[in-house]
Copies of this chain bind each other. A is one copy, B any other.
Amino acid sequence: MSAADLMAVLLANYLRYDFSSPDNPANDHLVFSKGHASPLLYGLYKMAGAIDDEELLTFRQFGSRLQGHPTPEIPWVDVATGSLGQGLPISVGMALAGKRLESAGFRVWVLCGDSELAEGSMWEAFEHAGHAELDNMIAIVDVNRLGQRGPTMHEWDTSSWATRARACGWDVQEIDGHDLLAIDDAYAQALEADGPAAIFARTKKGSGVSAVEDEDGWHGKPLPDPEAAVEELGGVRSLQVAVQPPPPAQPFEVKREPVERPSYEVGEKVATRGAYGDALAWIGSTDEKVVALDGEVSNSTYAERFAAKHPDRFFEMYIAEQQMVAAAVGMQTRGWKPFASSFGAFLSRAYDFIRMAAISDADLKLCGSHVGVSIGPDGPSQMALEDIASLRAVFDSVILYPSDANQAVQLLDAMRQHRGISYLRTTREATPVLYAAGETFEIGGSRTIRSSADDDVTLIGAGITLRECLAAADDLAGRGVTARVIDLYSVKPVDAEAILGAAGETKALITVEDHWAEGGIGETVAGVLAEAAAGTPLVRLAVSGRPGSGPPAALLAAAGIDAAHIVAAVEQALN
């Protein structure tokens, strides 16, 4: 109710949207960053004639698309909101796409709450939108003074936020959010701005209904006397608004620099992070929808190799991983295929955004480099040791962990073709190329590198630990023990058939991972075994103890995941 006047004026006079054709690329975007205002959003759809009263009354009911917070199950909703502080940074991605990739005329209107201005991610968005001069973006902040449990820090004093937004390069207005003419003037001025525009609108929660207006304690609660409220608001009405259609969409062109598919010689030492960079540049040339974003570490993730070839489609997001992932989510709403990279450890900064991206059914490709203790001297703050666990626990995600450079190239192209959330885990160190450039690897597959009819034991690794498994197998061969070696490069979905085959044919399985034991490769394998009631012993080697700095080999040994530890584990398991 606090934002109803703001949205009514927007719908009547400014929004350009064809509700009968939500896929029209010229449509404006309307993002409710304050997703809990969903009743207002659904009310707008009703006013626009997109839904009827009957559907409106299914709000929050089982099976209804009108959920408690908006999701893209509704065709006019681009992204799920409801975790505060996400709608504005996601909108930055839409606006970046419009301005830098598509030269398009659409506008991105974002309704924000005042409480969510406490989220740092909102200020990442203010900073980035100002820096990128996104004049196609208008943030409307509903300053109703009251959060869920009481007053906000600044209540109706909008000056601090206004000063900050202005300092970020925004055109800023502070208005009375219930003054219809002031609202109309503000939107008109916002459209004239040279950069992004913010309107801080002082409003009253529960506006128009004296029983609750500007009163604390009513957040997310139904009105005490809804009939009296309707009466006070002017009685039952059924306003219809003819929303302006967008102008015709304009075609645009994407530059495509030719880049050869990278390939590496077997035995050559190449880091999979390097292969990521090479392969990203390549798929950028084969698929014009591919775009890349990086969190100010492109000389480490090697996303810079994409930037060098396709500068128009590369986005430097600086050290702001939430904004990076959010921008990627925004871009994919417009059909782009965003690849966002940082150190795997720092993607944890954006975990809530990745979680929400799954609810948005987003097509989001992530790459985390510098995983595990094998990064060496930089120490534990830089080591991703929980990325497999946390990203496996994202709905419908795909987790790929290449063991050599040629495989990384293949898997990256598989990610390009896969629609959904996928994650590529790359290694800092250069490791020997194992596979010929022509070999194929699929999402959900695995590769049994060594096997024979009389294998004693199975070693399962991926990435850096596959190298250790192979070294251990060599050592074991000298001790008369034959080891099968499986490259479990697709951690999710996992190749259960290969695991169960090994469980049936060998006496024990050893998993080895440069990751904590919880939620990683070992537990994935354990789940497969337990569900099949396979009683084959499983030994899970994973990082034990808090690592420090040191050379990679010393850290692998200290963590208990190097070849020597594998050999010892096999000997113990077979005795």
Contacts and interface: CB of A to CB of B under 8 A. Distances in A.
Contacts of A319: 84-85, 115-116, 118-119, 147
B549 A64 contact: yes
A94 to B, nearest CB: 19
Contacts of A82: 378-382
Contact of A69 (B67, B382, B533): B382
B68 A296 contact: no
A516 B361 CA distance: 16
A298 B127 contact: no
A103 interface: no
A296 B216 CA distance: 13
Interface in A377-426: 377-382, 385-386, 389-390, 392-396
A549 B71 CA distance: 11
A69 B379 contact: yes
Interface in A487-522: 492, 516-520, 522
Interface residues of A, number: 113
Contact of A318 (B147, B395, B522, B549): B147
A297 B131 CA distance: 33
Nearest to A534: B535
Nearest to A525: B530
A536 interface: yes
A122 interface: yes
A349 interface: yes
Interface stretch (A148-156, A431-439, A461-469): A148-156
Interface in A43-82: 60-65, 67-69, 71, 73, 80-82
A49 to B, nearest CB: 24
A131 B83 CA distance: 23
A173 to B, nearest CB: 16
Contact of A529 (B65, B123, B164, B526): B526
Contacts of A358: 546
A365 B71 CA distance: 32
Given A351-B351, A526-B523, A71 B379 contact: yes
B68 A382 contact: yes
B124 A119 contact: yes
A389 to B, nearest CB: 4
A167 interface: yes
A325 B148 CA distance: 20
Please name the 5 residue pairs, one residue from A and one from B, whose CB atoms are nearest each other, closest first.
Answer: A120-B120, A535-B535, A82-B381, A62-B550, A519-B519
Interface of A: 35, 60-65, 67-69, 71, 73, 80-85, 115-116, 118-124, 127, 131, 147-150, 152-153, 159-161, 163-164, 166-169, 296-300, 304, 316, 318-320, 322-323, 345-346, 348-349, 351-352, 355-356, 358-359, 361, 377-382, 385-386, 389-390, 392-396, 492, 516-520, 522-527, 529-531, 533-540, 546, 548-551, 554-555, 558
25 contacts: A60-B378, A62-B548, A63-B548, A73-B548, A80-B380, A83-B346, A83-B381, A118-B296, A118-B323, A120-B122, A123-B123, A131-B153, A148-B296, A149-B297, A153-B318, A160-B167, A348-B355, A355-B386, A390-B390, A390-B393, A392-B518, A395-B516, A531-B537, A531-B538, A533-B538
